[in-house]
Amino acid sequence: MQVSMQLSYSGGFKESAQQVAELEKAGLDLAWVAEAYGFDGVSLMGYLAATTETVQIASGILPIYTRTPTLLAMTAAGVDALSDGRCHLGLGASGPQVIEGWHGVPYDKPLGRTREIIDICRQVWAREDRLTHDGPLYHLPLPEGQGTGLGKPLKIIAHPERPRIPIWVASLGPKNVEMTAEVADGWMPLFFHPEKAKDVWGDDLARGAEKRAADLDPLMVNAGGMVAIGDDVAGFRDMARPMIALYVGGMGAKGKNFYNDLVCRYGFEAEAAEIQDLYLDGKKDEAAAKVPEALLEATSLCGPASYVQEKVAAFAEAGVTHLNIIPIPTGDQTQATVVSQVKEWCEAV
């Protein structure tokens, strides 16, 4: 099991790059670069390519609506060339608030778009034939009356570093998870509960795996949580309350919130409803206070060394291949020493 880490997406590019360079020496395998509605993610990915040597550089995520499929392919190929083959392309639908509210683009057909983007990206990188857009969303010829009629199939001028760059998909809903297990190289579930993951997603993953192409490796899984190692560190779990409340309560509307649905599937229906009511009513602190302690415990790794080591094993047992951590140093620890310790445990499972 490898060790990964999500970088802040609110700014501080140079600080984040320095942090990754230091943690790379401690054993960090992969750094996720998010893109929401702050700075773009690709700029930092390119900067990381120049300031690191071995750590893998992944978009986590680039929204599927904000770039054409071929631009996503060109971008990943560019970062892969700059980093000598260390790029991973993480894709996701984001949510209506970001896509429609920030970008002004319709939030539609996420499954179909994701599937076609993956297919087009792989066509571009392979350079076996000129690119054709054959799907129902990104296709040629354009509908009657649109375009010039002059568009002809092309092949990428550059020669990508690799013919196959790993593609990850952030998905939660049953159909999206099934599609991810069928066509993606990796899966990025949020708020992963190792003890309940099989009950919630097992059937969806199995259905997708049955249709998975033989030339694809087994599906990689990136999940984890906050890590604090010590005898009196359980209170650090509370640091996750605002973020969980934001997603469960504020990322979407009633009846259309993927994260709220997930928490309900974990068995916290009443708590999810209360968090959403409070958050949408502007009572963010009260919503955060209602996040169940059991959910905080399940989705984090905070406790004595023996406990955290057991949690690492539990994530591995649940199928996680990349333990995604937020290292919280305590006492005389540093982020680097936390990463180094977790790396040792991940290599042991």
Per-residue pLDDT tens digits for 48-71: 999 999 999 999 999 999 999 999
Give the pLDDT score at 253. 82
Residue for token digits 């409070």?
278
Mean pLDDT, residues 294-309 taken together:
98
Question: What's the pLDDT at 78?
Answer: 98
Whole-angstrom Cα distance, residue 326 to residue 6? 7
- pLDDT band of residue 202 (cuts 50, 70, 90) is very high
Compute CA 176 distance to the chain's CA centroid, rounded to the nearest angstrom: 14
According to the model, what pLDDT value does residue 265 have?
A: 95
Tens-digit pLDDT profile for residues 236-262: 999 999 999 999 999 878 888 989 999
Question: In which element (H, E) is residue 224 found?
Answer: strand 220-229
Question: Helices in the chain by DSSP H: which ranges?
Answer: 13-26, 41-51, 69-82, 96, 110-126, 174-183, 197-210, 241-245, 258-265, 269-280, 284-289, 293-298, 305-317, 335-348
The confidence band for 132, taking pLDDT boundaries of 50, 70 and 90, is confident
The whole-number pLDDT of residue 299 equals 98
Model pLDDT, residue 141: 66
Tokens of 162: 């690799």
Does residue 232 register a pLDDT over 90? yes
The pLDDT value recorded for residue 278 is 98
- Residue 25's pLDDT is what? 97
Q: What is the mean pLDDT of residues 273-292?
A: 98
Mean pLDDT of 138-164: 84
Q: What is the pLDDT of residue 174?
A: 94
Band (88; pLDDT cuts 50, 70, 90): very high
Percent of the chain exceeding pLDDT 70 equals 98
- With cut-offs at 50, 70 and 90, classify the pLDDT of residue 11: low
Rounded CA gap, 332 and 206, in Å?
44
- Share of residues in the chain with pLDDT > 90 (%): 86
Q: Report whether pLDDT(152) > 90.
A: no
What's the pTM? 0.95
3-state secondary structure of 343: helix
pLDDT mean over 218-232: 97
Are the beta carbons of 6 and 326 closer than 8 angstroms?
A: yes
Residue 100 has pLDDT above 80, yes or no: yes
Tell me what the mean pLDDT of segment 142-157 comes to: 80
Q: Any idea how long the chain is?
A: 349
Cα separation, 16 vs 8, in Å, equals 7
pLDDT average, residue stretch 297-316? 98
Average pLDDT, the chain: 95
Query: Coil, strand, or helix at residue 62?
Result: strand
Report residue 311 as tokens: 């949690």
Q: Is the pLDDT of residue 142 over 80?
A: no
> Six-digit token pair at 80?
């892969």
12: confidence class by pLDDT, cuts 50, 70, 90: confident
User: Residues 281-296: what's their mean pLDDT?
Assistant: 98
Dihedral over alpha carbons 325, 257, 262, 206 (to 10 degrees): -100
| Alpha-carbon span 222 to 136, nearest angstrom | 30
CATH code of 2-226+304-348, in short, is: 3.20.20.30
Question: At 205, is the pLDDT very low, low, confident or very high (cuts 50, 70, 90)?
Answer: very high
